[in-house]
Amino acid sequence: MDEPADVRDVLARLLFARDSAHARSSGPLTDDFWTLLRSAAISERVVPALARGVADGRLVASRQQAEDAESLWLEVMRRCLRLEGRLLWLVDHLADRGIEIRVLKGPASAHLDHLRPEDRQFGDLDVLVRGNDMPAVFEVLARDGFRRRFPEPRPGFDRRFTKSVSFAGDVEVDVHRTIAEGPIGHRIPVVDLWCRSAPFEVGRVEVHALDHTERFVHACLHTVLAPPPVRLSSLSDVMRGLVGGHADPGRVVELSRRWGVAAVVDRAITAAVTEIWWPLELDGRWRSATPVGLVQSMMIESHRRNETSSAARAVLSLATLPTLRDRIAYAAALAAPASPYVDARHAGRAARFRHAYRQLVDVVRSVGGDGRGG
């Protein structure tokens, strides 16, 4: 996702600074720059911002470039519509079984946080279900031809510990039990995700997303707990939360402290206002000024480093699982998983342990050597 800084800067300004002179191109776009801009918009998942920038004249584009932008926008929106069609299908089938879901990320952000759904593209479907409902949801998907990408470590692991399970079919569907992986994720009481919801309509069918506070914190987690550089589309979701007026800063700070993720939320807000746009007025209550401890730094870095595997995060998870019983069950499942789980990821059990040990040492060294890991 490496592109020239000015290309990313142009796209970032198109996302928010609609009335600002800074968002306007100084003259017609050259073909070479258009090629870079187009490629970056696709990889950063901000094609709608590019298309609107051309349509409203903030980018001075040739006729061919304008047609290209329209064509790209139509293509990504078609994909969004197919995903929403699948969402309606899933909601309908699960309602027959009395199963509730919460729509996460893309579709929820498009309908609830952005000015128009057309402004936010998304490439897959993420839904939150209760752990005990996961087997029934998996069955519904499997019956329609969806295939699980990776097997469960041991029977029952998904409903107690897993963050999400990915299914491949005509679209990709990620079925979540919670909203973050590993040591950070295990700190979040799953019951909190079901206390409230924010409804929205897809084709006149009411569906539910996380409530505004939880959804904003999720956007922050998604932004920070991923190897950098973060996509502009993810930063845009955080910005929408800051300026949209739906999420209350006091409630966000209270929730993020209770979940032990205040440092993550701080980091996400800093990234968003630094890389996209610093609002003229930003409520000071958004910043919790929470000091970051060494263990917290290690946990965050275990997510952000490309070289760190899920095995290393799993080891760190033992520190944050809520009960001793959970830790024992979790450790047992990952120490001696079923063969299909191991075979899908490593050359063998010994290779798996060596891999996890190396990753864990790497994380400890990186945080210890850098101070607080950045």
- Given the complex with another protein, which of 110 and 128 has the nearer CB atom? 110
CB of 173 to another protein, least distance (A): 13
Q: Is the peptide bond before 28 cis (omega within 30 degrees of 0)?
A: no
Which of 7, 17, 42, 77 touches another protein by CB under 8 A?
Answer: 77
Nearest approach in angstroms of CB 17 to another protein is 20
Considering only residues 45 to 64 of the shown chain, the ones binding another protein according to CB under 8 A are 55
The tokens for 47 are 């094609």
- Contact string 186-215 vs another protein (x = CB under 8 A): ---------------xxxxx----------
Q: How far apart are CA 310 and CA 162, in angstroms?
A: 11
Residues 6+ apart with CB under 8 A from 143: none
Considering only residues 114 through 173, tell me which ones interact with another protein, judged by CB under 8 A.
116-118
Cβ 279 to another protein shortest distance, Å:
27
Exposed e or buried b per residue across 275-303, where buried means at least 16 C-beta atoms within 10 angstroms of its C-beta: bbbeeeeeeeebebebebeeebbbbbbbb
Q: Which of the stretches 39-47, 57-65, 69-77, 285-293 binds another protein when contact is defined by CB under 8 A?
A: 69-77
Backbone angles phi, psi at 310, to 5 degrees: -65, -25
The site for another protein, by CB under 8 A, has a size of 22
Q: How far is the CB of 101 from another protein (least distance, A)?
A: 16
8 A C-beta contact, residue 211 and residue 194: no
Three-state DSSP at 356 gives: helix
Binders in 248-307 for another protein, by CB under 8 A? none
Selected from 17, 36, 60, 88, the binder of another protein by CB under 8 A is: 88
- Rounded to the nearest whole angstrom, what is the least distance from the CB of residue 300 to another protein in the complex? 36
How many alpha carbons lie under 13 Å from residue 204 in its C-beta half-sphere? Answer: 0
82, 149, 196, 354: which one contacts another protein (CB under 8 A)? 82
Between residue 215 and residue 234, which ones bind another protein under the rule CB under 8 A?
none
Please tell me the total number of residues recorded for the chain in this structure: 374
Question: CA 85, 90, 96, 101 torsion: positive or negative?
Answer: negative
Amino acid at 115: L
Min dist. Cβ of residue 82 to another protein (A): 6
Question: Could you list the residues that contact another protein (CB under 8 A)?
Answer: 55, 70, 73-74, 77-78, 80-82, 84-86, 88-89, 116-118, 201-205
